[in-house]
A and B are shown apart, each in its own frame.
Chain A
């Protein structure tokens, strides 16, 4: 499948037939540009901390970088640095990093919130974990750690053994204030952290006006497990790979690909074709498992807790997981990918595996019909889901929404096709989009994506069956210790079940990354929740949350 041509009629600055012309982009920024850095897949444009908004606005409006994928913050010996990873929804291979250094004494930088709404949460995270402050930010608070936390854990000076002494005064019950005002009819209510509908530990600070949502603010961080810092303490070769399974814990295996892709590009490692096919097949099985769960829990939110669909969805997810267990030896924490390939071949006897997987695929159309009977064609379901939780495409882009959420809003964006990796370009499948922008459209997208995944798995099975026995190379030659050149920086992303899962790695010449940053799709998608649910009914807030299909393990990392 070839790359799509950018659809805009107006030519964007810097776009040429063979990639981006960074000189033209540099010329566009003019004096704002201080320096240019070479990153592995793109270039880094260094700008002054008080020129951030101007530079980003120019790049967004003139050069078409409408997708702020991620904001990475890090601390060097002599400076702090925020990196804005920009992309285009029309063509995500057009990448650009905007690097904003700030001094160590006064780490203040201009906020990008005015240009990209998604920068709001990303900058809060940067402040929380690294300690950079952002001027003009609407809400500069901690986001993952508790309000009372002392120090910034990913900063260089942070003492990990330092006790977090919090005075009693600060331990005061945060809910003590009853939020009752004399002159309003609204009611403040905490949805979560422990609530049947949050599917994890999420806290929604909700203000209700009768049954309608006047305001909602997600409060995250309850499942923060320092994944980035954990990865920074591990060696590239083997130790990091088990962690990605724990990010999106409903569709685990795909996440491994994000690290594999980043590290392989960074260390210039080839992956044998046979391993690519295995990767593609297992990733798609995992995506199906994730989408079944998403469907089942969404039904749970709309139907009620004793619904048949939840069990049906789990029944089918089980089959996909069984197959993955046969392949990887694990049901959830697969740890199947290795840098340069996968850990082992299909289980013996191969015929049995093929038969089992084909049975699953053969039964799928009938099962999907059943789902359509039970879910999408149900009139009450349609009344509940059509035109609720509306996310307009331009709002979705502002918030950096990706995956089924973006595709349900009609944004034709899928990294498997647009920024190809693995064996996807050789296979015949389609990117599913729906124009409804509502909860219903997102459900439809997920159900159709299951079909597309089935197509991919089927083609992979054909390939694997016919693969000559002596050419089944599982791993390429990879050095025992990987030590990339110092100060090599890479940001690369893959399409996981929820959207764009990106990894930023900076090396410092050792066998461990100096900075490991995870861009999780659920983090950005969740940020759009207030836009989608303000003014709607409580029931729709819950349904919308379900249709976003966030996984808190991935949001909080």
Chain B
């Protein structure tokens, strides 16, 4: 049941527009490359906006004004900050484990970007639509843990080391509930293909005073939605689960020894990850790019920014839990709940459908 929304992928559309032959591997590769460049640029630009938005949002939460000097609403701070960060000296400490130290920022940033390859963003913007889309996106997203371990272990710094150990412990504890909750959606939709999961949410759940409520899985199974949001916070390392970097305890965790370009990559990677998490939430629970009046891509961006806003909100208002409490919540709380959710979903779907 391929929905009308995602009939063709972006490379196919591009091939059509540019007159490329999709059967020729070389030309197909070119089309895919252009499509990836477009999506990558879109996501990176989106993330660059975070430099500005995050400060404005946090300021709003904390009764401040924040940046308003450079450009309209301080927007040009993005350019200024980018130049500033890139022009800083790259300090590489003695005795760092060189290849790993250099690769870690790349692994972190690219693993998140890779995930966007299969996310349907509306208006035909989707690079690939494999049958195992959801498995793929979870798999590449968790590659980030590898980057964190590399960064922490290679930095030759005890704070980095502690930070990366915390990150691994945390990711292990939260990846499982995250995936299990994602699987409950798969049981509803009956497919791992992301475009079909989106299409399955376009049906009307019920009508409320003339307003058709779509069967987004956030409405169908709000419990799974809440669970997924919470696990996602831990997955992207945001309050109350930001302990891998917990600046008051371990300075900046795995990022401590990184400066200049490497720091930019880590920082960027972290926010792309937040957006990838948001994109997964959007696709699985919020109907993907679906929405009235506005084009799909706009709805998609609105939805991922809404999820981003939520992470900033928790960051401003929720205390950080302790590492032992975090692990306990993960293994004893979330895991149990997510398994219960999975079993219940399976039973309900099995009985009703």
**Chain A residues at the B interface, C-beta cutoff of 8 Å:** 187, 189, 195-197, 208, 211, 299-308, 310-312, 315, 374, 378, 380-381, 383-384, 537-540, 542
* A304 pairs with B242, CB closer than 8 A: yes
Instruction: Judge whether B239 and A304 touch: CB under 8 Å.
Output: yes
CA distance A307 to B64 in the complex (A): 12
A383 in contact with B63 given A196-B248, A374-B317 (CB within 8 Å): no
- Which 7 pairs of residues, A with B, have the shortest CB-CB distance? A311-B62, A197-B248, A380-B319, A303-B319, A539-B322, A308-B62, A381-B319
Q: Do the beta carbons of A303 and B322 come within 8 Å of each other?
A: no
Bitwise interface map of B from 98 to 136 toward A, beta carbon under 8 Å scored 1, else 0? 000000000000000000000000000000000000000
16 residue pairs bridging A and B, Cβ less than 8 Å apart: A189-B158, A195-B251, A211-B162, A211-B166, A304-B246, A304-B319, A308-B62, A308-B63, A311-B62, A312-B63, A381-B319, A383-B321, A383-B325, A384-B321, A537-B324, A538-B162
A378 x B62 contact (CB < 8 A): no
B249 contact set on A, CB distance < 8 A: 197, 538-539, 542
Digit string of B227-267 for contact with A (CB within 8 Å is 1, else 0)? 00000000000011011001111110000000000000000
In the complex, B58 has a CB within 8 A of chain A? yes
Q: Which residue of A lies closest to B318 (CB)?
A: A380
Residue on B nearest A208 in the bound complex, by CB? B162
Inter-subunit contact B322/A384 (CB<8 Å): yes
Contact indicator B158/A187 (Cβ below 8 Å): yes
Contacts of B166 in A (CB 8 A): 211
Residues of B within 8 A of A542 (CB): 248-249
Q: Pick the most buried of A197, A211, A301, A540: most chain B CB atoms within 10 A of its CB.
A: A211
Q: Give the residue of B159, B320, B324 whose beta carbon is less than 8 angstroms from that of A304.
A: B320
B61 interface hit (Cβ, 8 Å): yes
CB of A189 within 8 A of CB of B325, answer no
CB A328 to nearest CB in B, in angstroms, measures 26
A381 to B325, CA, bound (A): 12
Contacts of A197 in B (CB 8 A): 248-249
- Which chain B residue lies CB-closest to A310? B62
Bound together, the chains give a CA A310 to CA B158 distance in angstroms of 28
Contact residues of B between 309 and 329, Cβ < 8 Å to A: 315-325
Q: Kindly state the separation between the CA atoms of A539 and B323 in the bound complex, as whole angstroms.
A: 8
Contacts of B317 on A, CB cut-off 8 Å? Answer: 307-308, 374
Q: How far apart sit A58 and B316, CA to CA, in the bound complex (Å)?
A: 54
CB–CB A539/B247 < 8 A = no
Hey, which chain A residues are within 8 Å of B240, CB to CB?
Answer: 380
A238–B64 Cα distance when bound, in Å, is: 40
Best-surrounded residue of B239, B242, B249, B317 (most CB of chain A within 10 A): B249
Contact A308 B316 (CB under 8 A): yes
B63 and A311 within 8 A (CB) = yes
Contacts of B315 in A (CB 8 A): 304, 306
Interface string of B149-163 (1 = CB under 8 A from A): 000000000110010
Q: How far is the CB of B252 from chain A (nearest CB, A)?
A: 9
Indicate whether A306 sits within 8 Å of B62 (C-beta atoms), given known contacts A187-B158, A301-B248: yes
Q: Are B61 and A302 in contact (CB under 8 A)?
A: no
**Distance in Å from the Cβ of A319 to the closest Cβ of chain B?**
13
Chain B, 301-344, contact with A by CB distance < 8 Å: what is the 0/1 string?
00000000000000111111111110000000000000000000
Cα distance A409–B240 in the bound complex, in angstroms: 29
Residues of B within 8 A of A305 (CB): 247-248
> Contact flags (1/0) for B50-91 with A, using CB distance below 8 Å?
000000001001111000000000000000000000000000
